[in-house]
Amino acid sequence: MYNGEKIKIVGLKPYTEVLNPLSYFLDSYPIDGEQSASYWYEGCCLQTGDLLRLPRTPLIEAIARGLMQQLAQDERYSREGKMYGVLLVEIPTGEKRVLKAFSGLLNGASVIDGWVTPIPGREQVALTEVQTLTELEAIKQELITLKQLPARQEYETLSQEFAQQLQVMSDRHAHSKQQRQQKRQQLYDTLTSEALTLALEQLDAESRQQGIERRRLKRQRDITLASLQEAIATEDTRIQELKQKRKAISRQLQAQMHAAYSLMNFLGQSSSLQQLMPDGLPTGTGDCCAPKLLHYAATHGLKPLAMAEFWWGTSNQDKVQGEFYGACAERCQPLMGFLLAGLRPNPPTPFPAREGGVFSPSPRRGGVWGEVKMIYEDEWLIAINKPAGLLSVPGRYLETQDSVISRLRNLLPDGDNLAAVHRLDQETSGILLLARDCQTYRQLSQQFQQRQVHKVYEAILAGTVTRDAGLIELPLWGDPQNRPYQQVDWERGKPSVTHFRVMTREKNYTRVEFEPFTGRTHQLRVHALAGLGIVILGDRLYGCNAGATRLHLHARELRFQHPRTQATIHLQTETPF
């Protein structure tokens, strides 16, 4: 098509109903559409390996803001938070038009006038989906009922009552014990021989009687609660069975939907989601804005020019209303190489140069989702430069299996033996060390545990740091009910120490070098916020609302002793922002 081939125009009449003029979103648009992009949707063509890219330009961002204004006028769009997207296209006549899409369902509907339709295939499993959703709702209601059964509340009430009784008894017994000790001292001072022995035996008998009284109350508690515990255990077993059943039928439905979903690219090629991601698909794959928009454009002969996605509605821990976001790592990014096939390949855009300490915080750019790049390799260990957005190791669930480890295990002959010696947060880029055998892993791990590994990170903070350097010592604790969020806790927190040095300051940003002496979860992110009072740019989890599409934190340097050769290894990478 756009590389010289032609594509058949399908369904001209229907698609005109979702093509919007630019004036629908903008009063005027003097914005230069050729201005540099703030973000690139990109992927490698599965056939040629060429890097294919679609920009997010100032013009498409202005169009997106126009859509935001329309959404703000209707409260229905604020009830639930979701992603929305706009795609600027060129129609066969050469005119520019705009497509708009929403992720998933909008107010319970998948097809709404004026919005692009879902990726085809859902209708093939519509009946199965309805039946499955009905079954899932029944399981949900049973779970709610099981969690609210009277036995649980009765158990909690009785447990508290027995605990209070035991506390009152303990206080009374402690007071009696103190009185007996005083009485014993008096008896030793006033009595002798048989009279003293008899009096002391009476005090010991009183002590034994109180012990019997305490054991009797505990036995009564255990007998009373035993039947309730048995009922609760039975309920818990049923709850686990229902949760496993819910997971199984959800996965079965997703597998059926992914096999039915069919995507088309700009070469006119069609493929199911299951074929494109045979190793497993996260829930919701195919329902995001970017695949909807690109598939629709490809099937209707529309040339894509620029695309933008943003969050609207109730904000959550990761997304903020009105902010732009790139392709999601789990669902959309793996499809980009196929979806963009047929567009002209683009050379990769280098990261912006930094001269004289001057920098410009920018969104994630080229190379992030290319190959995992090795920076050191020998027969015992590997060091790679991990891109932001990629997990270090696979997660627990199907949608979190893509990682450095899983990719290298598929690429290397000895990949099954690889183990990550340490980890970087998913959104943190930089040096990650991997061991190729158990002995190397143990020896390197010991160096990390004994704090013999020198680590240097570089970050951009979304504010001005007034001090030039210093030490941050704050204890960190992670609430098990709110993982992975960490906080400063002087009672329960583990000691954590970081040295910082300001590299440059520009406008409202500060480039900082961090040297962590300990390795706590999110240590640098929390130390920046709590120790310096400024969050790292792009750190949504800890409250950064600045416009950035990645966490600006990079593991720049790593120095350690090679566990086999004993040589000092000093690894360095260029900071990509």
Task: Point out the residues that are catalytic.
Answer: 425
Q: Are 52 and 44 in contact (CB under 8 A)?
A: yes
Element (H, E) at 293: helix 289-299
Beta strands 553-561; 429-435: pairing state: parallel
Q: Bridge-partner residues for 470, per DSSP?
A: 500
CA atoms of 458 and 8, how far apart (whole Å): 50
Sheet holding 82-90, edge to edge: 96-102, 82-90, 303-312, 324-325
Closest by Cα among 459, 488, 492, 453 to 473: 488
Structure tokens at 70: 């329309």
For residue 69, the tally of other CB atoms under 10 A from its CB is 9
CA atoms of 252 and 241, how far apart (whole Å): 16
CA distance from start to end of the chain: 35
Burial label, 258 (beta-carbon count in 10 A; 0-12, 13-18, 19+): buried
DSSP assignment of 369-396: TSPPEEEEE-SSEEEEEEPTT-BSS--S
Beta strands 82-90; 303-312: pairing state: antiparallel
For residue 147, the tally of other CB atoms under 10 A from its CB is 11
Alpha carbon of residue 110 to chain centroid: 26
Strands, DSSP E only, in 57-184?
A: 82-90, 96-102
Q: Are 538 and 549 in contact (CB under 8 A)?
A: yes
Structure tokens at 525: 């992110």
Structure tokens at 542: 């800890």
Beta strands 262-264; 303-312: pairing state: unpaired
Structure tokens at 406: 């899983």
For residue 565, the tally of other CB atoms under 10 A from its CB is 10
